[in-house]
Amino acid sequence: MQLLEKLSIRASNGPSKLMRVIKSPVTQYFPPGARRVGLSHSAESVHRMPAFVAQLPADVPVIFVVGAMAHGRVDVTYTDEYISISQFPLSAAVCLGRICNALETKLDIV
């Protein structure tokens, strides 16, 4: 609620911003050469997130596009590919948790 009302969320113990709304187009914030992966339950292929993240090259930045809904598809033109990480529809929170866990596991191995 605070993000929508004030367009940012500040830390409770200081002035630093934890989250803020950015202006469109979001592609201006992407690093050059980044791989852009959209997550969608309706994607053709289902991947296990740890295996998918493990095969990503370490020298290429990756952007995951996650919708804030359990049904439907994020319809954007700036993704290179769409994947599904479950045979069931997942909430955005669960998708983000799986992405973070897979990235943490990859960083522990390297």
What is the tens place of the pLDDT at every residue in 3-53? 888 899 999 998 899 999 988 888 999 999 999 999 988 888 899 999 999
Does any domain span residue 101?
yes
Does any domain span residue 80?
yes
Q: What is the pTM of this model?
A: 0.78
Does any domain span residue 1?
no
Does any domain span residue 88?
yes
Does any domain span residue 92?
yes
Does any domain span residue 24?
no
Does any domain span residue 13?
no
Which CATH number characterizes residue 81's domain? 3.40.1280.10
**pLDDT tens column, 58-107:** 899 999 998 766 566 677 888 999 999 998 888 888 999 999 999 999 88
Does any domain span residue 62?
yes
What is the SS3 assignment for 77?
A: coil
55: left (phi over 0), alpha (psi -120 to 50) or beta: alpha
**Which residue from 79, 84, 40, 82 is spatially nearest to 63, judged by alpha carbons?**
79
pLDDT value at residue 64: 94
Strands 81-83 and 35-39: parallel
Q: CA torsion 95→96→100→105, rounded to 10°?
A: 0
The domain in which residue 99 lies consists of 31-109
Structural domains in the chain (count): 1
Contact 53, 100 (CB under 8 A): no
